[in-house]
Amino acid sequence: MTERAQMSEPAQMTEPAMELRGVSVNFGSVRALQDIDIKVYPGEVHCLLGDNGAGKSTLIKVLSGVYRPSKGEILVDGKTVTFRSPRDAQELGVATVFQDLGMISLMSITRNFFLGREPTKSSLPFSRIDKERANTIARQAMADIGIDVRDPTQAVGTLSGGERQSVAIARAVHFGARVLILDEPTSALGVHQAAMVLKFIIEARMRGLAVIFISHNIHHAYPVGDTFTLLNRGRNRGTYAKSDISRDEVISIMSGGEDLKAVEAEIAGLLAQIGSRPPAAP
Amino acid sequence: MAVVEDKAIPPGELKATDRFGMTSKRAAGADERLASTGKLTQWLRRPEAGAAGGLLATIIIFALLPGAANLYSLQGSMTFLTLSAELGIVATAAALLIIAGEFDLSVGSMVGFAGVVIGLTVKYWGLPLWGGIACAFAVAILTGYLNGLIVVKTRLPSFIVTLATLYILRGLSIGITRAVTGRTQIPYILEGVPDPATAGIFNGHLLTGLFHWMGAQGWIGTRSDGIPFVAGIPMSIVWWLGPTALAGYVLTQTKYGNWIFATGGDLIAARNVGVPVDRVKISLFVYTACAATLLATIQVMEAGSADTTRGLLKEFEAIIAAVIGGVLLTGGYGTVYGVLFGALIFGLVQMGIFYTGIDTDWFKVFLGIVILMAVLVNNYIRLKALGRGGGK
């Protein structure tokens, strides 16, 4: 499976919402990404999978406007764009929920939700933030994707990891994101909370968003994903529709296949050694 | 219970408790572990709660000590309020900057330098008072802008950048004044100016009619000529409370205030959602420099002279008032009302120790203890605000 697999067209024959063409990123002599081509369609969950060091984080930063590619093009709705900052990307409807969430824990849910886009009562400088409206909208936007917020004025720091992730997603969806980039949204979460976040990903997809879901956990990515792009050592190892690839195949490619078998054999050997001894009392 | 399967479990098949007696999080509805918070707890979680409590304690302590009658007399009150005002003007600005995640150690030197600018331009260039004051504010805006620009462009800690400004401004004040006048003070600034009324905006009193009337009624003490000892509310107090109220409004009610919290709370996150963090910081450096210049103007108008050593250590007193007031030194949290209480505690203790006859050498010891207590209380309150025992 080392050679590039045939790209299978997704169900939608529409224009990709976002596309990378031949994108490379170099940091000095380090080639973090080489010649990456990716197409993401509306109403599609596109999973970027790869082990640590595969280039996932760099790729997200290119998609979200934090880094500019050394080579290649970014297209949004078929038009070539240049992101000078994450703000530029947002203006074009490309919203990113970073792993550290971009939430300010000492500020309230509403203040975080509207940060940078506060609704004011008039256009004068130093006019009041319309707090009532902001609270109502924030609560409603979160209710829309199925989160019940007890009190939108409570500090974000009081929320659980899953809730914070949900607020970040709700914020991105509310402010008109058409491409939603989620960087490891489930990695730090418990089972229940991860399930909640996966549900929001499905909700976002059903609303016609293009979702780019970065993960190294195949058990989270496989159930919700429509398309899988596998990254390894800065290169695209192939893009597959779900129907064309099984979970085990994905795992195998992600971990570099051979490596995993070697690790398994090693573990089996260890277990065989320990196996003769009785387990410790429960 | 394996929730993350390829097919989600239909909600209908969920039972509130499974066979292990575990409550399903999905079926449980509202979290029963969430304790309701009372009004008192909510109030105690406010950042200024600690400072308000501290102020109350300070008032009571000095009420029980000898000299309380003098301290809390109208005259005594005005004296400590004026002291609080002089600190508060600068501390409010310093607090906003700290909330935005930066320090300005140059405010004390700025007080001295702005005074010198007014003194030299009025006395040696022959400018009217308003012209001298305008020059001082122009210098302040430039200084604040440069402080801010260097900090945001180089990303050096503002502590170091403004420490440099502290020395540069103090050195310039002394150097220029001595070069021009041969001394380190500029006396008799108000004499012979074309617009003496301008000084009244800064050194006058408010409600003089009311105080005169109260004196005539015998309610407040008067001199032999019938003029009350306290002619009215000193303008310094007005210049403290007015801008503080405005700053409080801006911080809590406006978009810009939200950006101040965000800039100090998490710079990267704020920048990523499009908050102009550099502009926020630079504008606040300009504000602290202007606040220092306002204080300098008041001092020059009250004393009629400029002194190159004015404002010495004001930067630290301002930070102390902010910290006592519940502002987090690491940024992102605080209120200006807390700083108001912090400045009041500061002024009250300074005057209180004087009136009680305690050796004023002890003021610094007391101050140190108050700072330590304030920081401990603030830390506790912040963790409470986040509703947990340990913070990150």
Cα dist from B108 to A278, B98, B139, B273, B330, whole Å: 73, 16, 15, 35, 21
Q: Which of A101, A102, A111 sits opposite B258 (nearest CB)?
A: A111
Q: pLDDT band at B4, cuts 50/70/90?
A: very low
pLDDT of residue B302: 93
pLDDT of residue B172: 96
Candidates B14, B258, B261, B287: best to mutate against A (most CBs of A within 10 A) is B258
User: Which one is the CATH code of A18-245: 3.40.50.2020, 3.40.50.300, 2.50.20.10, 3.40.50.800?
Assistant: 3.40.50.300
Does B22 have pLDDT greater than 60?
A: no
| Average pLDDT over all residues of chain B | 85
What would the 3-class secondary structure string for chain B be? CCCCCCCCCCHHHCCCECCCCCECCCCCCCCCCCCCCCHHHHHHCCCCHHHHHHHHHHHHHHHHCCCHHHHCCHHHHHHHHHHHHHHHHHHHHHHHHHHCCCCCCCHHHHHHHHHHHHHHHHHCCCCCHHHHHHHHHHHHHHHHHHHHHHHHHHCCCHHHHHHHHHHHHHHHHHHHHHHHHCCCEECCCCCCCCCHHHHHHHHCEECHHHHHHHHHCCCCCECCCCCECCCCEEHHHHHHHHHHHHHHHHHHHEHHHHHHHHHHHCHHHHHHCCCCHHHHHHHHHHHHHHHHHHHHHHHHHHHCCEECCCCCCHHHHHHHHHHHCCCCCCCCCCCHHHHHHHHHHHHHHHHHHHHHCCCCCHHHHHHHHHHHHHHHHHHHHHHHHCCCCCCC
Q: Which of B25, B275, B333 sits opposite A115 (nearest CB)?
A: B275
Shortest Cα distance from B261 to chain A (angstroms)?
8
Is B218 buried (19+), middle (13-18) or exposed (0-12) by CB count in 10 A?
Answer: exposed
Name the token pair of B171.
């050195």
pLDDT of residue B108: 96
| Average pLDDT over all residues of chain A | 81
| B258–A104 C-beta distance less than 8 A | no
| B34–A157 C-beta distance less than 8 A | no
pLDDT digits (tens, 9 = 90+) for A215-267: 877 888 888 889 988 888 888 878 888 888 888 887 777 666 566 677 788 88
Which segment of A49-53, B132-136, B352-356 scores lowest on mean pLDDT?
A49-53
| Chain B residue at shortest CA distance from A219 | B4
pLDDT of residue B245: 95
pLDDT of residue B386: 62
Query: Which of A127, A101, A125, A128 is CA-nearest to residue A113?
Result: A101
**Residues in B touching A116 (Cβ below 8 Å):** 259, 262, 270, 273-275
**Residues in A touching B6 (Cβ below 8 Å):** 222-223
Candidates A84, A103, A115: best to mutate against B (most CBs of B within 10 A) is A115
Query: Of residues B253 and A10, which shows the higher confidence score?
Result: B253
Q: Which of A126, A155, A222 sits opposite B254 (nearest CB)?
A: A126
Q: pLDDT band at A1, cuts 50/70/90?
A: very low
pLDDT of residue A149: 76
Query: Of residues B173 and A51, which shows the higher confidence score?
Result: B173
Name the token pair of A189.
């979460």
Q: What structural domains and CATH numbers belong to chain B?
A: 46-384 (1.10.3470)
pLDDT digits (tens, 9 = 90+) for A97-152: 877 667 888 888 999 999 888 888 877 777 888 888 898 888 888 887 667 777 88
| Chain B residue at shortest CA distance from A102 | B269
Candidates B31, B272, B329, B392: best to mutate against A (most CBs of A within 10 A) is B272
Q: What is the amino acid identity at position A161?
A: G
Q: Are strands A94-97 and A71-76 parallel, antiparallel or unpaired?
A: unpaired
**Residue ranges of domains in chain A:** 18-245
pLDDT of residue B30: 47
CA pair distance A88, B274, nearest whole angstrom: 9
Shortest Cα distance from B250 to chain A (angstroms)?
6
ipTM: 0.75
Shortest Cα distance from B141 to chain A (angstroms)?
20
| B269–A102 C-beta distance less than 8 A | yes
Query: Of residues B310 and A10, which shows the higher confidence score?
Result: B310
Shortest Cα distance from A158 to chain B (angstroms)?
5
pLDDT of residue A66: 84
pLDDT digits (tens, 9 = 90+) for B34-82: 455 566 666 766 778 778 888 888 889 888 888 888 888 888 899 999 9
Q: What is the mean pLDDT of residues B288-298?
A: 97
Candidates A60, A94, A105, A106: best to mutate against B (most CBs of B within 10 A) is A106
* Percent of all residues in chain B with a pLDDT value above 70, rounded to a whole number: 86
pLDDT digits (tens, 9 = 90+) for B116-139: 999 999 999 999 999 999 999 999
pLDDT of residue B336: 93
CA pair distance A49, A217, nearest whole angstrom: 8
**Residues in B touching A198 (Cβ below 8 Å):** 4
- Site of tokens 């900057």: B97
pLDDT of residue B92: 97
| A220–B4 C-beta distance less than 8 A | yes
